[in-house]
Structure 1
Amino acid sequence: MRDLRPLPKANLHLHLTGSLRPATLVELADRYGLARPSPLRAGAVHGWAAFQERYDTARAVLRTPADLTRAVAEAAEDSAADGGGWLELQVDPTSYAERLGGLEPVVEAVLAGAAGRAAGIVLATSWAAAPEHATRVARLAARHAGAGVVGFGISNDERLGRVADFVPAARVAADAGLLVTPHAGFYEAAWHVRDCVRLLGAQRIGHGLSAVGDPAVLALLAERGVTLEVCPSSYPPLGVTADLAATPLRPLLDAGVRVALGPDDPLLFQHGLADQYATARSELGCSDPELAELARYSIEASAAPAAVRRAMLAGVERWLGGMQEDGGRVALTEVASAVDGPRPTPLRRS
């Protein structure tokens, strides 16, 4: 059985706070005299409010530019250890702006953590944000397009906002050549995924599982080549799926929809990037060729520089050819070398 860690993958769905190492969380919480989040009970179903409370508690330990820079650097290191040849880390700068004195200092701190690494930043707003604020974040992302920021996201509970209100923000981001990748179809039905594609021009969707309930939406995703960022370990604790085996990966793939596996918030869900591929193998019945195809989808959907994508795709072929011990790791070494090349080229809206 091939080792999954050397399989080159793009890590496209990871949140900054949710990427924190437990040891770093403990260290910072003790330094600042702050509480630590209580763990999610294994096997229990939690509402979004319980998840958000724990997430906010963890986020509070990131209080200085140095904390943010460290968290980004550690996230990139941990992703690389799982075979993540490229990382796109999602950061909502509003969450840290008050402590750091504004949105721009937050962006500077996270870009410092990503500098020189195989990583880009997706600046995000919240579905609960006012449209004007969302546009402000999109403009901030646009100012850093091609200089470390690769996308614009919309996170949090999608029930808190209206898709149409985010059209101006998405347009600003797309016009700057940034990927538009909102969370959708987590709690809302397939219509939410459809509207994010049609109204916002989303090239990727965070989660999007509810699309399986509407063949027309599946056809839309397949026709437009929209990639879903699926995070199997996130769904059972929040009641989205009954268990890991109920993740609708197979129906999505059978409908021609591209899927990239991601870890979402390993701090809380306790599963990293390689674990998602292990779940696809053990719980969802994916063969090694299918796992390689999922890795290809993630790479092709990323904003990684062309040299990085080429090195990773070549490594996928070597891994699939059975040379995982040298081929996959050699490819990841080549990826690290390629990072010193040009920054990602902004993607122009078609």
Structure 2
Amino acid sequence: MSDMARVKKVELHLHLEGAAQPDFIRQIAFEKKVDLSGIFTAQGGYDIHDFVHFLRVYEAATSVLTTPEDYARLTRSVLEASAGHGVVYCETFLSPDFCGGGDIGAWREYLSAMTEAADAAERDFGITMRGVITAVRHFGPDQAKRAARCAAETAGRMICGFGMAGDEKIGHVRDFSWSFDCAAEAGLPFTIHAGEWGGAQSVRETLDAYNPPRIGHGVEAISDPDLVARLADTGVVLECCPVSNVFLGVFPNWKSHPLASLREAGVKVTVSTDDPPFFHTNMSREYEALEQHFGWAETEFTEINQTALAAAFCDEETRARVAKRLES
């Protein structure tokens, strides 16, 4: 175990399907006699060329996950791996689009299976999982309504938030207002992907439209000083995924990544893995990179974890329980 794996961590930005290890997907595909060889490299990892290609590979890998039992197995696998890197609490993006196509009855069955697996993982590995139901932007506003209805119908202990991921260059964020209104009526807070590929303007438009307490990524805000000041002043939390950003070319290298600059400007930042096996990362590697490139140490790591826990969408009883784990 690396030294960074011993650091207790909170992760807020993790796509459940995107955390599926290649070996896990290959095993499921083998069991179902599905040929997915085209999405893997000769070395066995996911074959990713750019962001759009990543989305295609992601959806191809997800295509073999077709039953609640598949998702129960996936949930346990992901949580066991995360716990091995010191994660004591994670919020995972869950998409009804991949779990029954947005049908509420089917979604309930998938959610029940994932919840049972997550509760068992908490007992076995000491990690708590909560879910943020996520609409997929490039699937369009009508499909997003199905995800929002699933969120509203199953809001509670496990489902604690609503969000939107996918290709942020598709459509306009206000096109999804019905879905966010639906989730808001159910009492669910929001986190929305912006400022990963859509520039600083996508962050501004998202804030203007929905005023979410958290933004997924948001790092392209650095190009707009007034927007950076706005984020700092309002306390909006950014779910930053630096290895993902460098791997996909949002920023060409660590020297140009704005995470440290955003933090120094007073913006609340957190650190997550996004889709870890796709980008050859995990939470230990994220922290090792932050130590290497930014000189971060215990003070900074404690701060970002406290920020993440305070921004988590879970209930207060869960927050207090996780806080004790961090202190230990």
Count of aligned pairs: 316
- The aligned residue for residue 57 of structure 1 is 60
What one-letter code is carried by the residue in structure 2 that aligns with 1:266? Answer: P
Preserved contact between residue 157 and residue 315 of structure 2 (Cα < 8 Å): no
User: Which piece of structure 1 moves more, 217-226 or 304-313?
Assistant: 304-313
Distance 2:325 2:56 in 1: 40
- The aligned residue for residue 219 of structure 1 is 229
Distance 2:164 2:9 in 1: 23
- The aligned residue for residue 272 of structure 1 is 282
Matched, 1:85 2:73: no
Shift of 1:113: 2.8
What one-letter code is carried by the residue in structure 2 that aligns with 1:121? Answer: G
- Cα RMSD, aligned residues only: 2.5
- The aligned residue for residue 107 of structure 1 is 111
Structure 2 length-normalised TM: 0.88
Cα distance change, pair 226–75 in 1 and its aligned pair in 2 (3 A) = same
Shift of 1:39: 3.9
User: Which piece of structure 1 moves more, 156-165 or 20-29?
Assistant: 20-29
* Larger relative contact order (CA 8 Å, sep ≥ 6): 1
User: Which piece of structure 1 moves more, 109-118 or 69-78?
Assistant: 109-118
Any unmatched runs of 5+ in structure 2?
Answer: 123-127
Out of 40, 63, 67, the residue aligned to residue 38 of structure 1 is 40
- The aligned residue for residue 17 of structure 1 is 17
Distance 2:116 2:311 in 1: 24
Cα distance change, pair 313–6 in 1 and its aligned pair in 2 (3 A) = farther
What one-letter code is carried by the residue in structure 2 that aligns with 1:30? Answer: F
Matched, 1:249 2:259: yes
Matched, 1:183 2:193: yes
Preserved contact between residue 205 and residue 226 of structure 1 (Cα < 8 Å): yes
Structure 1 length-normalised TM: 0.82
SS at match of 2:100: helix
Q: Deviations over 1:162-182 (max 9, x none)?
A: 111122222222332222111
Distance 1:189 1:143 in 2: 33
Shift of 1:274: 2.2
Distance 2:227 2:176 in 1: 20
Distance 1:45 1:33 in 2: 23
Shift of 1:258: 0.8
Distance 2:324 2:107 in 1: 38
Cα distance change, pair 40–284 in 1 and its aligned pair in 2 (3 A) = farther
SS at match of 2:301: helix
- The aligned residue for residue 29 of structure 2 is 29
Out of 280, 293, 300, the residue aligned to residue 283 of structure 1 is 293
Distance 2:133 2:270 in 1: 19
Any unmatched runs of 5+ in structure 1?
Answer: 319-330, 332-350
Shift of 1:99: 11
Shift of 1:197: 1.9
Preserved contact between residue 88 and residue 322 of structure 2 (Cα < 8 Å): yes
Distance 1:223 1:80 in 2: 34
- The aligned residue for residue 125 of structure 2 is none
Shift of 1:33: 1.9
Shift of 1:98: 4.6
- The aligned residue for residue 166 of structure 2 is 156
Cα distance change, pair 115–282 in 1 and its aligned pair in 2 (3 A) = same
